[in-house]
Structure 1
């Protein structure tokens, strides 16, 4: 976006929001190759287990109900991982929506004066290419992962109910 042609402040331009998000420590790992991404998910799940495991052990007797302890700890870890994945999905979806739209809504002065700027065709085409080939695959991977985690949690809940 040319500074002369574009009244949108640099930090509110969709392409810059995308670059900032991709470079941030929290969001960057969702764009890593699949094996590395999966290792990060397992690491986060294990760390979440370190939080939820002691709560599960305090809630159920490890000697009398070890499966309850395991299921409670796993469900707690799943819940924490679900919150992380949900934040990732919402962040990428917000930027993706701004890249894909033909207009940019922005605040000129910071006083909530809501302005709207029509993207030129070339810029819209560039933003949509970035959305289609870079951002949408990340978003789809996160959505599939989120769905798999929900299904896993439902399976754990069903197994718990059958105990």
Structure 2
């Protein structure tokens, strides 16, 4: 389902795989990042499914290998581990999309012709700039905001775990 045509334009000196729009499309097609672009109900379902799988995995791991006898401590530790893994997953998503949005919104594109030692800078034409910025504003920024809100909810979970731990 590619709505944007993948073709190398003749007036763009940037290699095909380093053009911001093509970087966006390749990231969008990857498994991890395509999950973050799914509809909101699928995103929430995937998030909850991943949380439950991690919770079950860490609970079996903690029951077998930990010497914690208090069930509430074991439960809190399990919640903490599950939240940490999901938090790092969302950080990875955020870093990937923020790199893409910077490349899409920028008026210049840094690229490498054949290796790290011969970097060049290309100034986008107005057509490229408008197209890239429209994709950035309408296709990428809403999902970056979704990832930010998800990270915020995980931070609230950390706060709840801390408060629950200090009470009990």
TM-score grouping bracket, smaller chain normalisation: over 0.9
CA distance in 1, matches of 2:71, 2:146: 34
RMSD: 1.4
Q: Distance in 1 between matches of 2:30 and 2:19?
A: 16
Candidates 133, 142, 147, aligned match of 1:137: 142
Q: Which residue of 2 aligns with 1:109?
A: 114
Higher mean displacement: 110-119 or 84-93:
110-119
**Matched pairs, number:** 160
**Aligned position for 2:155:** 150
Distance change in 2, residues 1:56/1:161 (3 Å): farther
Contact in 1 for aligned 2:8/2:16 (Cα 8 Å): no
Partner of 1:86 in structure 2?
A: 91
The residue matched to 1:89 in structure 2 has which SS?
helix
Question: Could you give the per-residue CA deviations for residues 6-52 of structure 1, whole angstroms, max 9, x where no partner exists?
Answer: 11100000000000011111100111111110010011111221332
The 1-side partners of 2:159 and 2:110 are apart by 39
SS at match of 1:60: coil
Task: Using structure 1 for the length normalisation, give the TM-score.
Answer: 0.93
TM-score, normalised via structure 2 length = 0.90
In the TM superposition, what whole-angstrom CA distance separates every residue of 1:36-75 from its partner, at most 9, and x where no partner exists?
A: 10010011111221332234332411xxx11111111011
Instruction: Give the Cα–Cα distance (whole angstroms) in 1 for the partners of residues 117 and 59 of structure 2.
Output: 45
Quote how far apart the aligned CAs of 1:2 are. Answer: 5.3
* Aligned pairs (5 A) from 1:11-160: 11-57=17-63, 58-61=66-69, 65-160=70-165
Q: Which runs of 5+ in 1 are unaligned?
A: none
8 Å contact kept, 1:55–1:73:
no
Distance 1:92 1:125 in 2: 19
Residues 21 and 27, structure 1, Cα contact 8 Å, conserved in 2: yes
Residue segments in structure 2 that go unaligned for 5+ positions in a row: 1-6
List structure 1 segments (4+ residues) > 4 angstroms apart after TM superposition. none
